[in-house]
Chain A
């Protein structure tokens, strides 16, 4: 799938009124099968850009085209079909605690499954082999029948990524896949994601806090700062000076570990339940 944005701006629906859009001016074009890393300091709009590309956020200004179609012109059911052709992996793995790993992984293939098959799959997993193969790529195959809440944070993150492997998507939008992983695991995860995307000719867009990983693994780097594209260059042309400018006032993020996620993509807290008891 290819992606084109023109002067794209977007904001989270729960963002406070009066605050500027998290993403203000992003014009980028990504060809089918391309692999792109998005870097930038916290609050630069990386996650918002990813959500806008995933048709999860309606642009407040500008436009986004997915496969040369404006998804927001489509009727809602067609928009949902379009969403089924891409895969957005949030930074915090979206797994219900009581679910088994096999069910969580197979949930990635729901758009391709059809309703009755997905119900049958709850009674008896319909594609154990597929889930096993996906988990094996992340070194988790022995956990296939464990419950999600028995897993560590890093294991959960990898289960969330294994979903991408079984999904029918031709575009992967992956938000900070390494935030809960140690360096060895991180290397394995990057090998898997980049290799699989290349083999399947899947377009891969990934936000990363680890600048060194982005520069060594990706050919094309987009630097985002204050909601705008600061640079969009081949990795070889991203000089230390550009990085210093990109991370000005956020130097600790350039060299230090990634800051803990504050889940900015979450809706405001839900109202408490009023049980009539």
Chain B
């Protein structure tokens, strides 16, 4: 409250927006920062539309029609599709096997010392170390893991499975821990406060509290694993990707088109499974 005597002259209507200078500043800063990035990435969208590239991309796309649909090829695709699903599923299973212990060890939602304030020093350092391991696992791309394993175990699905297991183990471990920490902690904390062990509190409080989100994230990651196993196929890790690589090298667009369609159906299927599972559990 000001103590000045009441004045009767009304303040003039503002004639400029006080946010204007800041807005201009951030906008120009964004342009200044983006420009070198566009130069560095040789970002020239107009190059897509000159006559030369238009003709060559059109030819490439025309190759896709009609998709190959003879019996022999469809049998092959079905077999490779099944192999892709198998790679993704086995990779995810191994990844979960790896991620779940790391999650339990690293999540602060199961810290007993954190119940009464700050987490104690030793458990804190231990949990951070586990997190570091998870970072190491997932910061090496699955493509690199696959290239390594192709040399170790030879061409074929095993390399793909191992590559997915390691990278996805790191991702799942991190995200599971974060899901567990972001849910309502009341049930879990009450159990630990009443003297139950960490694992008991996990099975009776933390897991039922967060099961739907964990499941939906896992199914989403399974879908990612299917997509990523195709990329891994290009370096010789088996499945649809390897077939696609072969067809591309032979400029057989029709076969590529068939496999792309199968692939889209596969991803759509994973999407349906995910929403069904979420409904069942949620």
Q: Could you tell me which A residues sit within 8 Å of B by CB distance?
A: 13, 54, 56-58, 76, 80-88, 90, 92, 94-99, 103, 107-108, 110-111, 113, 115, 118-119, 122, 167, 169, 266-267, 270-277
Give A171 Cβ to nearest chain B Cβ, in Å.
11
**Which residue of B112, B174, B200, B209 contacts A115 across the interface (Cβ within 8 Å)?**
B200
Docked complex Cα distance between A83 and B192 (Å): 8
What number of residue pairs across chains A and B have CB atoms under 8 A from each other? 110
Can you spell out 19 A-B residue pairs with CB atoms less than 8 angstroms apart? Answer: A13-B116, A13-B118, A54-B193, A80-B112, A87-B194, A88-B194, A94-B189, A96-B205, A98-B281, A99-B204, A107-B191, A110-B191, A111-B194, A118-B200, A169-B194, A273-B178, A273-B182, A275-B175, A275-B217
Set of chain B residues within 8 Å of A111, measured between Cβ atoms = 194-196
Interface check B199, CB cutoff 8 A: yes
Find out whether the CB atom of B195 lies under 8 angstroms from the CB atom of A96.
Answer: no
Set of chain A residues within 8 Å of B200, measured between Cβ atoms = 110, 113, 115, 118
Find out whether the CB atom of A85 lies under 8 angstroms from the CB atom of B182.
Answer: no
Give A139 Cβ to nearest chain B Cβ, in Å.
23
Find out whether the CB atom of A98 lies under 8 angstroms from the CB atom of B195.
Answer: no
Find out whether the CB atom of A98 lies under 8 angstroms from the CB atom of B116.
Answer: no
Q: A76-B112, A94-B186 are in contact. Are A115 and B197 (CB under 8 A)?
A: yes
Set of chain A residues within 8 Å of B209, measured between Cβ atoms = 96-98
**Which residue of B117, B204, B211, B217 contacts A107 across the interface (Cβ within 8 Å)?**
B204
Set of chain A residues within 8 Å of B181, measured between Cβ atoms = 270-271
Set of chain A residues within 8 Å of B212, measured between Cβ atoms = 98
Main secondary structure of the interface of A (DSSP, over half): loop
Give B168 Cβ to nearest chain A Cβ, in Å.
11
The residue in chain B whose Cβ has the minimal distance to the Cβ of A92 is B186
Of A58, A80, A122, A266, the most chain B CB neighbours within 10 A belong to A80
Interface check B220, CB cutoff 8 A: yes
Docked complex Cα distance between A272 and B178 (Å): 9
**Which residue of A84, A119, A267, A272 contacts B195 across the interface (Cβ within 8 Å)?**
A84
Set of chain B residues within 8 Å of A113, measured between Cβ atoms = 200
Set of chain B residues within 8 Å of A107, measured between Cβ atoms = 191, 196, 204-205
Docked complex Cα distance between A82 and B194 (Å): 9
Set of chain B residues within 8 Å of A275, measured between Cβ atoms = 175, 178, 217
Main secondary structure of the interface of B (DSSP, over half): helix
The residue in chain B whose Cβ has the minimal distance to the Cβ of A90 is B190
**Which residue of A58, A76, A88, A277 contacts B190 across the interface (Cβ within 8 Å)?**
A88
Set of chain B residues within 8 Å of A81, measured between Cβ atoms = 195
The residue in chain A whose Cβ has the minimal distance to the Cβ of B116 is A58
**Which residue of B116, B179, B196 contacts A273 across the interface (Cβ within 8 Å)?**
B179
* Extra contacts besides A98-B209, A98-B281, A103-B204 (14): CB < 8 Å: A56-B116, A58-B117, A82-B195, A83-B193, A84-B195, A88-B190, A96-B205, A98-B211, A99-B204, A99-B208, A103-B208, A111-B195, A118-B196, A118-B200
Set of chain B residues within 8 Å of A95, measured between Cβ atoms = 187
Set of chain A residues within 8 Å of B266, measured between Cβ atoms = none
Docked complex Cα distance between A266 and B183 (Å): 13
Find out whether the CB atom of B179 lies under 8 angstroms from the CB atom of A83.
Answer: no
Complex A-B, nearest 3 residue pairs according to Cβ-Cβ distance, in ascending order: A84-B195, A94-B190, A110-B196
Interface check B275, CB cutoff 8 A: no
Interface check B203, CB cutoff 8 A: yes
Interface check B115, CB cutoff 8 A: yes
Give the contacts of B198-219 with A (CB-CB under 8 A): 199-201, 203-205, 208-209, 211-212, 217
Of A96, A108, A266, A271, the most chain B CB neighbours within 10 A belong to A96
Set of chain A residues within 8 Å of B104, measured between Cβ atoms = none
Docked complex Cα distance between A277 and B211 (Å): 19
Q: A76-B113, A103-B204, A270-B181 are in contact. Are A94 and B187 (CB under 8 A)?
A: yes
Interface check B171, CB cutoff 8 A: yes
Docked complex Cα distance between A118 and B198 (Å): 12
